[in-house]
Structure 1
Amino acid sequence: MSVSPWRGRPRLAWLTAVVLLLALDQLSKAWFASTIALGTAIEVTTWFNLVHVLNTGAAFSLLAEAGGWQRVFFIAIGFAVVVPITFVCLARQVEPLERVAGALLVAGGSGNLIDRIASGAVTDFLDLHWRGLHWPAFNLADVFIVLAAGAWILMSLRPAVASSKGAS
């Protein structure tokens, strides 16, 4: 029987997960940005392309054409999300699935935050499409954020465990 080196060290495991996910996000963005010319696409399948686009807006390019003020706004929102979740995951005792969701959200939010601070836009490279309809391009940070949201939705659907002490 082997004992996990992370057992008893959930904060260290959380920090390691965030760093690895953030590195994966940033390395993938850098690789695709250096491999695919801006604004072009490489067809992988009939429903999936690799692209290189810059998004100055939020999800679905929301506010992308807002004139520049959105950069500061999205940076502020990024910090407003990443900092408290980091604090909760490191300072509080949270259940493992909540810590995983927090790591995904902090890594994804930080990855897009780094892009916004560095260049004012997020590098997207994944493009799903079907019969001429394209889902907005996205990146690994976006995938991490969606997975975190999905985990939190699943956690919220679980029935609450009632305390047996004091309940009669």
Structure 2
Amino acid sequence: MKDLTVKQSGVRWLWLALLVFVLDIGSKLFVMDTMGYGWANRIEVLPFFNLLYVHNYGAAFSFLSDAGGWQRWFFAAIALTVSGMLAYWMRQTPASNKILNIAYALVIGGAIGNLFDRLVHGFVIDFLDFFIGKNHWPAFNLADTAICIGAGLIVLESILSSRKQAAETE
């Protein structure tokens, strides 16, 4: 891989990771300061969407939420490792590759937002509750949204890149 200067590399896109982090933490603080905890205090916004302040001690879908506490540090280590790896890849990626750099920045910002929660509170604050009828998707937050969009963009960029390479070799 070619070593690019900061100006030429995707590191220029880290402002987006900072923006995601600030919006995520700001939204969580707002929820904590203005909403009561739990299902009884939900705010019905749309026929398929509530605001619902809950704590998640695990990861996605409350994975390992009842593991006894060690998972806090396990998920913190994963967030730091993935964020460091993506920041390194951003350094190797040209700034002109917008899709990939935006994807990396979204994942980094989301991972650091949830890492902040784990380190400060011991759990992640979730508040977005989507549902169909009585079937609820697990509550999530802006950090989770950024991570999912970023991961989707990484997959999209991979598909587009492989198609471009296949077209160039024909």
TM-score category (smaller protein): 0.7 to 0.9
Per-residue deviation, 1:86: 1.2
Gaps in structure 2 of 5+ consecutive residues: 1-6
**5+ residue gaps in structure 1?**
1-7
> What's the % identity of the aligned pairs?
41
Corresponding residue for residue 127 of structure 2: 125
What amino acid sits opposite 2:142 in the alignment? L
Match of 1:76 in 2: 77
Q: Deviations over 1:71-116 (max 9, x none)?
A: 1111111111111111221x21332211000000000001001101
Shift of 1:141: 0.3
Deviation at 1:15, TM superposition (A): 2.2
Count of residues in Structure 1 that have an aligned counterpart in Structure 2? 158
Whether contact under 8 Å (2:129, 2:137) holds in the other structure is: yes
Choose between structure 1 and 2 for higher RCO, CA contacts under 8 A separated by at least 6 residues: 2
Deviation of 1:150 after TM superposition, in Å, equals: 0.8
1:86 aligned onto 2:118: no
The structure with more helix, counted as a fraction of residues: 2
1:18 maps to what in 2? 17
CA–CA distance in structure 2, aligned partners of residues 108 and 41 of structure 1: 24
How many angstroms apart in 2 are the aligned matches of 1:35 and 1:49? Answer: 15
User: Residue 135 of structure 1 aligns with which residue?
Assistant: 137
Amino acid at match of 2:60: A
RMSD, matched Cα: 1.9
1:66–1:12 distance in 2 versus 1, CA, 3 Å: closer
Instruction: Describe the SS at the equivalent of 2:37.
Output: coil
CA, structure 1 residues 41+14, in 2 after alignment: closer, same or farther (shift >3 Å)?
A: same
Q: Which residue of structure 1 lines up, in the alignment, with residue 42 of structure 2?
A: 41
Instruction: Confirm or deny that 1:27 pairs with 2:31.
Output: no
